[in-house]
Structure 1
Amino acid sequence: MLDVRRMQVLRAVVTSGSVTAAAANLGYTPSAVSQQVAALEKQAGIALLERVGRGVQPTAAGLLLTKHADTISRFVAEAETELADLQAGRTGRLTIRYFATAGASLVAPALATFRRERPGVQVDLKLADPEDPLPEVMRGRADLAIVVRPPHGFAEGVRLVHLLDDPYRVVLPRGHRLAGKPVVELADLGDEPWVGSELPIGPCFEVVSQACAAAGFSPSFVVQSEDHATAQGFVAAGVGISLIPRLGLQSPHPDVLIREIRRPEPIRAIHAVLREAAPAQSIVRSFVETLRQTAGDHQRDQGTAGQG
């Protein structure tokens, strides 16, 4: 097998025109350069240089190996550049799993910012199983997942990054008996017919059911829509009331009223989950930081809107 390093020494000799000049350029002694070329000739089984006057010139075999050495040098340089880009997070592939209401308000603006900063990174986005996308991360099928979870109970080997708290709001039909209240007591909804806006299992449903339990009742669902927009439609038609997280109310139905809730206020905590082994400088952590900034901007905007 031909030695790549010796091929580069041959290339230096052919390019400079002499063993002495090549040695000076490489920082070797002329004797060391001659030994490297001689060893390469032994590997190739054919002469690679021939003496001409005080210098040397390549044989046909020497030209052939010089050409390939030049190609190898270019490939190595390209590989080093691409590796540096990958290490710096300028290139690579990022696989993200997210749930619907986090998509428009968090993931979309974060992705737009991330792509402006790192246009060479390929991002694979997929709507996750709303019940639990965590296994996707744990099994290595996703680099990052946006989840709704309490800040405990996660498996080892994953890192949990809090993004924002998303409070629930009560959605009422116009003319409802509680329409005049700016803030509704959760206990006052105990006797109401309820329209479900989410899957009747999983962390989002648990947030609502636990808050209702703390208020002393279990909601009576007359409709399970599993969709925020559809739930608003049922409420607007007077079928019942619904609790919907604030992120799910970016496009409110014109025939419903939205009120804050207290005692207690149901709040779902939204987190990013990534493997603990993700390198500190990786594009995964860079995207998480972008998500955190986007979430902070969103909460500040919501606070300003609430003050207005």
Structure 2
Amino acid sequence: MLDVRRMQVLRAVVTTGSVTAAAGRLGYTPSAISQQVAALEKEAGTALLERVGRGVRPTAAGLLLTEHAAAISRQVNEAETALADLREGRTGRLSVRYFATVGAPLVAPALAGLRRDHPGVQVDLKLIDPDDPLPEVEEGRADVALVVRPHGPPGGGVRLEHLLDDPYRAVLPKGHPLAARRNLDLSELADERWVGSERPGPCLDAVLDACAAAGFSPQFVVDSEDYATAQGFVAAGLGIALIPLIGLRTQHPGVIVRKVRRPEPVRAIHAAVRESAPARPALRVLLEALKDAAAR
């Protein structure tokens, strides 16, 4: 097997034209250079250099190995550059899972900033509603997932990075007796008919927990599991709803939105990452972009 380091020594001799010049370039003695070339000739089974006056020139075999040594050197340099780009977060590939309502206000600006500042980072983006994305993170099939914090700490070695708190608002039909109020105590909605806007899970839990703290359990008369549809049901007079602020980016013209307090229901949105995952600059860059988007 040919020794790659000896091939680079041969290349230095060929490009400088002499053993002495190659020794000066590489910081070796001429004797050491000659020994390396002799060892490489033994590995190759043929002569690699021939003397010409005071210098040397490559044989056909020597020229062949010199060209390959140059190609190897280029590939090593390219590998070092690629590794430096990966290490500094300029390149990489990430798998991201998200739920629908954070797509436009959070994921889109974060990825736009990432593409602008780190165009070499590739992102595999997938909508996961209504599935739970945490198993994908736990099993390494996704690098990061945007989730609403569940009850208790997540399992499977998953770490949650807080992005933002998304408060719920009361959505009332126009003409509702409470519509004239700017702020509502949650308990004032206890006797209302409710339109469900959440499917079972952490988002609905945030609503139910707040209602329990206010001393009641909401009476749902219709379930929609969709914020736009829920607003339509409210506008039609079927009931009232609690919808998170992000879900009200597009407001139905037939509803009134009011703040809720005592308590204010809030869903905490986090980025879930695997605790045991190797430190990846591209992932750190993405998390920073998500936090910047959340802050804006």
Cα contact 1:278–1:285 (8 A) shared by 2 = no
Structure 1 distance, partners of 2:156, 2:281, is: 20
Q: CA deviation at 1:107?
A: 1.1
Which deviations, in whole Å up to 9, do the C-alpha atoms of 1:102-122 show, x marking residues without a partner? 111111111111111101100
Cα contact 1:170–1:260 (8 A) shared by 2 = yes
2:267 paired residue number: 268
Question: Residues 136-151 of structure 1 correspond to what in structure 2 (within 5 A)?
Answer: 136-149=136-149
Letter in 1 for 2:65: L
Instruction: Between 99-108 and 8-17, report the one with greater CA deviation.
Output: 99-108
Question: Residues 48-87 of structure 1 correspond to what in structure 2 (within 5 A)?
Answer: 48-87=48-87
1:24 paired residue number: 24
Cα contact 1:132–1:202 (8 A) shared by 2 = no
Structure 2 distance, partners of 1:225, 1:152, is: 27
> Which ranges in structure 1 are unaligned for 5 or more consecutive residues?
298-308
Letter in 2 for 1:45: G
Letter in 1 for 2:209: Q
Cα contact 2:151–2:202 (8 A) shared by 1 = no
Instruction: Between 257-266 and 128-137, report the one with greater CA deviation.
Output: 128-137
The two structures have a TM-score, normalised by structure 2, of: 0.96
Q: CA deviation at 1:281?
A: 5.7
Cα contact 1:278–1:284 (8 A) shared by 2 = no
1:37 paired residue number: 37
Question: Residues 1-308 of structure 1 correspond to what in structure 2 (within 5 A)?
Answer: 1-130=1-130, 132-149=132-149, 152-155=152-155, 157-199=157-199, 201-279=200-278, 282-297=281-296
Structure 2 distance, partners of 1:280, 1:56, is: 50
Instruction: Between 106-115 and 122-131, report the one with greater CA deviation.
Output: 122-131
Q: CA deviation at 1:276?
A: 2.1
1:306 paired residue number: none
Number of corresponding residues:
296
> Which ranges in structure 2 are unaligned for 5 or more consecutive residues?
none
Letter in 1 for 2:255: V
Name the CA shift for 1:131/1:193 in 2 (closer, same or farther; >3 Å). farther
Structure 2 distance, partners of 1:281, 1:138, is: 16
Which deviations, in whole Å up to 9, do the C-alpha atoms of 1:172-222 show, x marking residues without a partner? 1111121111112212212222111111x1100101111111222211222
Deviating beyond 4 angstroms after TM superposition, the runs of 4 or more aligned structure 1 residues are 278-281
Cα contact 1:94–1:284 (8 A) shared by 2 = yes
Cα contact 2:96–2:125 (8 A) shared by 1 = yes
Letter in 2 for 1:127: L
1:303 paired residue number: none
Q: CA deviation at 1:152?
A: 3.9
Instruction: Between 129-138 and 272-281, report the one with greater CA deviation.
Output: 272-281
Instruction: Between 85-94 and 187-196, report the one with greater CA deviation.
Output: 187-196
Cα contact 2:97–2:145 (8 A) shared by 1 = yes
The alignment-based identity, stated in percent, is 70
Q: CA deviation at 1:130?
A: 3.9
